[in-house]
Amino acid sequence: MNHSFLFCIEAGYLEPQSLLLARSIRRWGGRYACCPIHAFQPRQGPPLAPTTLDGLQALGVVLHEEPLNHEHRFYPFANKIYACAWAEEMLQEEILVFCDSDTIFLGEPSAFDLNLALDAALQPVVLVGQGSTGPGHPHDDFWQQMYQIAGVKHTPYVNTMERGIPIRGYWNAGLIAVRRSAGICKQWLQIFRLLMKVNHIPPSGNINNLDQLSLAATLARFPERIGYLGYHYNYALPRRALFRGSMGSVDLDELIHIHYHRWFNRSGFLELLKPPLGRDTPEYQWLKSFLPFQPTMDEPLHGQVDTQISRAELRQRHGTARPRYQTKKIRKP
């Protein structure tokens, strides 16, 4: 195989996540199970635990500790952009697969065998979020200006995964397969840096998704070269109760790759999912043996709480609120 898998790791909660990701590739990757795996620690910080280092070594993972992210070290989601750009320049494999650390594989990802007509394969976002449905949408001015800054002439559309809503091309950056020779990651880093330099950020000042937004501007340059991963990839397992049709009832032994976010720290997470997962599959039994991660949390799952309570409020109540990353405000003369 001519593929390399990439992910980012830092001391703390990313350590057990990263180890499980690497284990999943080796266990469930099929033809890809023996591909090189590279872990990146792009920011200076506390050292990884000895048990983590031993685990990575046992799994044949190459650890890169070079501090690649100097300029935007306040923004952890920039780590993936710097890591991908480095890998694109320095590695030899033609197909690079970046995975968020809070994801795992449960099947052979044959969609990563990109045909010659494609330079990338990934999945549209689950929800509109910071995306735009087009003219008249509250976020559309931001998107139009972003396209102008990035030199995008034609704006593609995709459909969101959960409800099929047409939006301007906006993809999930949690699982990306790219052709190294296409130079996509270098362009991604250039556009991300440019957006930060000119302070083109969402009006809220929240830059949590600027990695995805800059990726959207990058991919909009050549939408005809993008392949789409179906729901069996990057499957948002915590939102299972909110999905419709087969997407809401698919079992673990039918999925290729899942995105669990923080929910593997939830005690009984797999047992609480609705519709229920089959508990006799090898995939379920394997995954259950590693859960829960520590420290545990007790936040209610999606679709299992009063709809009048926002997810942000629930996170606040249960001590699982996500950090909001913001840039320093630029004073206008």
For residues 210 and 249, what is the distance between their CA atoms, to the nearest angstrom? Answer: 32
For residues 166 and 173, what is the distance between their CA atoms, to the nearest angstrom? Answer: 18
What's the chain's average pLDDT? 93
CB 32 within 8 A of CB 112: yes
**Could you tell me the CA-to-CA distances from 70 to 82, 87, 270, 280 in Å, in that order?**
10, 17, 38, 47
Smallest Cα–Cα separation from 106: which of 266, 261, 259?
259
For residues 273 and 301, what is the distance between their CA atoms, to the nearest angstrom? Answer: 8
For residues 12 and 52, what is the distance between their CA atoms, to the nearest angstrom? Answer: 10
* pLDDT in the model for residue 332: 35
Smallest Cα–Cα separation from 41: which of 4, 21, 3, 14?
14
The model's pLDDT over 254-288, given as tens digits with 9 standing for 90+, comes to 999 999 999 999 999 999 999 999 999 999 999 99
Say what percent of the chain tops pLDDT 90: 87
| pTM value surpassing 0.85 | yes
Q: Please, what is the angle between helix 210-219 and helix 78-90, to 10°? A: 40
For residues 99 and 21, what is the distance between their CA atoms, to the nearest angstrom? Answer: 9
DSSP 8-state code for residue 68? -
In the structure encoding, which two tokens stand for residue 98, read together?
């970046």
User: In 10 A of CB 35, how many CB atoms?
Assistant: 19
Question: In 3-state terms, what secondary structure has residue 226?
Answer: strand
The model's pLDDT over 3-15, given as tens digits with 9 standing for 90+, comes to 999 999 999 999 9
* pLDDT in the model for residue 160: 97
The model's pLDDT over 79-109, given as tens digits with 9 standing for 90+, comes to 999 999 999 999 999 999 999 999 999 999 9
Provide φ and ψ at 171, rounded to 5°.
-115, 155
DSSP 8-state code for residue 113? S
For residues 251 and 283, what is the distance between their CA atoms, to the nearest angstrom? Answer: 9
E strand intervals along the chain? 3-8, 37-40, 61-64, 95-99, 103-105, 120-122, 157-159, 166-168, 175-179, 226-228, 235-236, 257-259
